[in-house]
Chains A and B, each alone.
Chain A
Amino acid sequence: MQFLVIGLGRFGKAVAEALADAGHDVVAVDENEEAVMEVEVMVSQALVMDATNERALRTLGVKDFDAVIVATSQNIVSSLLITMLVKELGAKKIVAKTSTSLQAKVLKRLGVDLVVYPEREMGQRVAQILTSPRIFEFIELSPDYSLVEIVAPEAFVGKTIKQTDARAKYGVNIIAIRRKVPEMSEDGKMTYKEEMIITPPAEEEIRAGDLLVVIAKDENIEALKRL
C-alpha cells in the first residue's frame, strides 16, 4: 500500500517507520530538513516541503495514496489547512493527529476518517498501568465492557480454563493467552519465547505469568483484579 505522512515529529516519524517496516511505500514530508533527513533511509521518499502550500502538495499526487496521515497537530492552523487541502486534492482516507477535542471536532467536520489522540491515549494507558500494575492492556469496548490483558490471578494458576469456571463464576471470557515460555539460547543463556494461544481450549492449563486476554464487564474485571 502507499501512504503519505505529513509532519515528522515523534508521532509522524513513528507511523512512517512502522509502515515502512511493514513493507509499504511511504512518502514522508516535513518543512524541517533535519526531521526529513532522520527518516530518509527508512522510507521510499522523504521531502522537505511546506505542506500548507497547495501547489507543492499538488505535485505529490495525493489521490494516489491509500491514506494520508496528517501528523502536524502542534500547529493547529496548519494541521487544519493541510487536512482541508488533502481532502480537496482527493485523498482516499485521512488520518489526523490531534491533541484537543475542539481540534478533533473541526477535523471531523473537514471529513477526516480517523482522528487519533496519541497523548490522551498514552496518558490513559500510563494511568492504568500505575494504578493497576497487573493490567497490561486496556481497551474500552463500550461504556460497560472492556478488553484487558491481565496477569493470571494466583487462584487460576495450575488450573485448566474449565476448572477456573471463569465465565460462570467471574463473568469473564478468556479469549487468548499470552505466554512467555522459558528456553535456553544456543550459547546456554536463559531466555524465553512469546506464544499467543488464541481461543484457548477448555483443557488449557493456566501457568504462572500468563497474560490472560479477557473480555468482561468492568465490574467483573475489577473483581478479577482482586483475586
Chain B
Amino acid sequence: MGTEDFLEEAKFELLAGRYDSAERFLMKVIEEEPNNIDALFNLGILYEITHQNSKALEYFNRVLEISPDHKEAREHAENLTEL
C-alpha cells in the first residue's frame, strides 16, 4: 500500500469514528512523507475531535509552516487558541 491508500483508509476510519485506526494510518503516511499536508491536516482534525487540543494545534501549525495560505488550518488553529 502506498501513502495515497493509507490516506484513503485513514479518511474511511475517521468517518467511521475509529480514531485509533485512523491515527495509525495517518502516522504511516507521515513516516513516509513528513510534509504530507493532507495527513498533517487530518491528524489535526482527528485530535480536535478527540479534544487533544495541544496536539491538534501542533499539527495545524505544521500545515501552516509548509503552506502558510492553508485557510482551513489557519481557521482551526485560531479557534483552538481562543477561549
Seen from chain A, the residues whose Cβ lies within 8 Å of a Cβ on chain B are: 122, 125-126, 129, 134, 136, 151, 180, 182-184, 189-192, 207-209, 211
Contacts and interface: CB of A to CB of B under 8 A. Distances in A.
Contacts of A151: 51
Contacts of B15: 182-184
A192 B17 CA distance: 11
Interface of B: 11, 14-15, 17, 19-20, 41-42, 45, 48-51, 72, 83
A184 B14 CA distance: 10
Contacts of A184: 11, 15
Contacts of B41: 189-190
A209 B49 contact: yes
Contacts of B45: 182, 190-192
A43 to B, nearest CB: 23
Contacts of A189: 41, 72
B48 A190 contact: no
Contacts of A208: 17, 19-20, 50
Given A129-B83, A189-B72, A191-B72, 5 more contacts: A125-B83, A136-B51, A180-B49, A182-B17, A190-B45
Contact of B48 (A134, A180, A207): A180
B76 to A, nearest CB: 9
Contact of B14 (A122, A126, A134, A182): A182
Contacts of B42: 190
Contacts of A190: 11, 14, 41-42, 45
